[in-house]
């Protein structure tokens, strides 16, 4: 009994000592998940930079997409900061490399949101990598702007997901009409990357419009990313005698496909989408890609003041380099984000999301951009043709 009372007295004294002002401090308990404060949302009066995240394929087989986009984003941010920033604050871009892998895209975006407390995310180019990371941004309610992911499902992930490029139903329709009406094609074949959301979607939309116009899809073969031998599929397609071959893939495989197709004796026209846009297309495909057509987001040959200023600034910043479409889209994404921040009046994700949704008539490098109710850009497409290893402007097609 004495032992019991002794222990009770000791406990009482200890409790009193802990509660007494000026007494020895005890270790604070670990906070429960519910008690952990949310990341601080900066106010317009803060002097700290406004943090923006960017993720892209800076290494790996599609690295030219990521590096080109980053150059465009960096140029835009430098111009914005030289002009005084937004809301009286500089913009700071924190970049993560996803290596062209879906699991790395998830990790990259999680880091940007949880570790770096960004107010928005720019990226990715590849639709499959945007589809992988968009749910993370949506759950965290952090606006995400993809410069170039054209698969319609991307913005369907939620109301915090935006894009400033056209979508595949439009791009596929444009190329089908060009093939049928301009090239007078009536027998088209398709060779698609079966595991790539972008390639599959674009192939489907091309086929739907081409057949609606009265043409026939005489063959539809597939491959997978990183394949290097396409002779079996091309031999099968050759037997169908197409007058056009639609290859809605990325430049890494497209260059090889065109090369092997010509070696096998295919003489038809080659067509594709914006995934062709890279200097590596001609480096890989050589003469085989000459004369090929693809849809794109802009051309340096278009006669618009926004393009002229951008190209001049880009060449001055990057040692005379001519900007590809991904650079122009990255530039426009950053500029639209800054414009929305200014209209929002504060660097808060919810306010920024609302301002982005109201984007109308923004005069970008890649066209006059209005975001529709599904947060997709309504803007023209450009068709270019490969000549002497360079994409040459053919025409613009309005939505």
The yes-or-no verdict on residue 252 having pLDDT over 90 is yes
Record the tokens describing residue 300, joined without a space: 């340096």
- Give the start-to-end residue ranges of the domains of the chain: 50-166+302-379, 169-296
Paired sense of beta strands 381-387 and 293-296, if any:
antiparallel
Which residue is listed with tokens 């699991």? 103
Mean pLDDT across 207-211: 98
pLDDT at 46: 64
- Per-residue CA distances from 378 to 110, 113, 164, 368, 381 (Å): 30, 29, 8, 8, 10
- Per-residue CA distances from 149 to 46, 178, 262, 393 (Å): 33, 22, 30, 22
The yes-or-no verdict on residue 7 having pLDDT over 90 is no
DSSP code at position 85: -
Tell me, which fold does domain 169-296 have in CATH? Rossmann fold (3.40.50)
Distance CA 14, CA 347 (A): 47
pLDDT averaged over the chain?
A: 90
pLDDT at 33: 30
Distance CA 202, CA 192 (A): 9
Q: DSSP strand E in 57-195: where?
A: 91-97, 121-122, 144-146, 161-163, 187-193
Contacts of 345 (CB under 8 A, 6+ apart): 44, 87, 351
Domain 50-166+302-379 class? Answer: alpha beta
Number of H helices, E strands in the chain: 12, 15
Which residue is listed with tokens 């093939």? 179
Can you give the C-alpha Rg of the chain in angstroms? 26
Place 203 in a pLDDT band, splitting at 50, 70 and 90: very high
Distance CA 179, CA 217 (A): 12
Say if 50-166+302-379 and 169-296 have the same CATH topology: yes
Bridge partner list, 294: 272, 384
The yes-or-no verdict on residue 269 having pLDDT over 80 is yes
pLDDT at 47: 80
Assign residue 350 a region (left: φ > 0; alpha: ψ between -120 and 50; beta: otherwise): alpha
Which residue is listed with tokens 């004495």? 2
Going by C-alpha positions, the residue among 168, 167, 113 that lies closest to residue 143 is 113
pTM, two decimal places? 0.84
pLDDT at 18: 37
Going by C-alpha positions, the residue among 256, 232, 246, 244 that lies closest to residue 200 is 246
Mean pLDDT across 221-246: 97
């Amino acid at each position: 009994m004495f032992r019991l009372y002794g222990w009770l007295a000791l406990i009482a004294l200890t409790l009193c000592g802990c509660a007494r002002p000026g007494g020895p401090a005890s270790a604070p308990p670990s906070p429960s998940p519910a008690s952990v404060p949310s990341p601080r949302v900066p106010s317009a009066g803060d002097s700290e930079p406004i943090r923006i995240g960017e993720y892209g394929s800076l290494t790996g087989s599609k690295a030219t997409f990521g590096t080109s986009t980053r150059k465009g984003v960096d140029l835009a941010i430098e111009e914005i900061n030289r002009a005084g920033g937004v809301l009286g604050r500089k913009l700071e871009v924190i970049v993560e490399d996803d290596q062209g892998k879906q699991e790395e895209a998830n990790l990259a975006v999680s880091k940007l949101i949880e570790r770096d407390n960004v107010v928005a995310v720019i990226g990715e180019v590849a639709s499959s990598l945007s589809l992988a990371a968009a749910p993370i941004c949506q759950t965290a309610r952090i606006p995400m702007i993809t410069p170039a992911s054209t698969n319609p499902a991307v913005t369907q992930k939620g109301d915090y997901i935006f894009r400033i490029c056209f979508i595949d139903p439009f791009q596929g329709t444009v190329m089908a009409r060009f093939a049928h009406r301009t090239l007078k094609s009536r027998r088209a074949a398709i060779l698609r990357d079966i595991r790539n959301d972008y390639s599959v979607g674009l192939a489907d939309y091309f086929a739907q419009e081409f057949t609606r116009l009265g043409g026939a899809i005489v063959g539809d073969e597939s491959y997978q990313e990183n394949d290097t031998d396409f002779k079996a599929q091309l031999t099968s397609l050759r037997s169908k005698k197409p007058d056009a071959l639609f290859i809605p893939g990325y430049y890494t495989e497209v260059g090889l496909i065109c090369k092997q197709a010509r070696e096998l004796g295919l003489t038809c026209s080659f067509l594709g989408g914006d995934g062709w846009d890279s200097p590596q297309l001609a480096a890989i495909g050589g003469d085989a890609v000459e004369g090929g057509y693809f849809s794109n987001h802009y051309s340096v040959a278009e006669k618009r003041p926004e393009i002229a200023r951008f190209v001049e600034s880009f060449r001055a910043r990057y040692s005379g380099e001519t900007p590809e479409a991904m650079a122009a889209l990255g530039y426009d994404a950053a500029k639209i984000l800054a414009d929305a921040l200014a209209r929002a009046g504060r660097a808060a994700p919810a306010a920024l999301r609302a301002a982005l949704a109201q984007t109308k008539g923004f005069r970008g490098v890649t066209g006059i951009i209005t975001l529709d109710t599904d947060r997709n850009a309504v803007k023209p497409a450009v068709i270019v043709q490969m000549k002497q290893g360079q994409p040459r402007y053919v025409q613009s097609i309005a939505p």
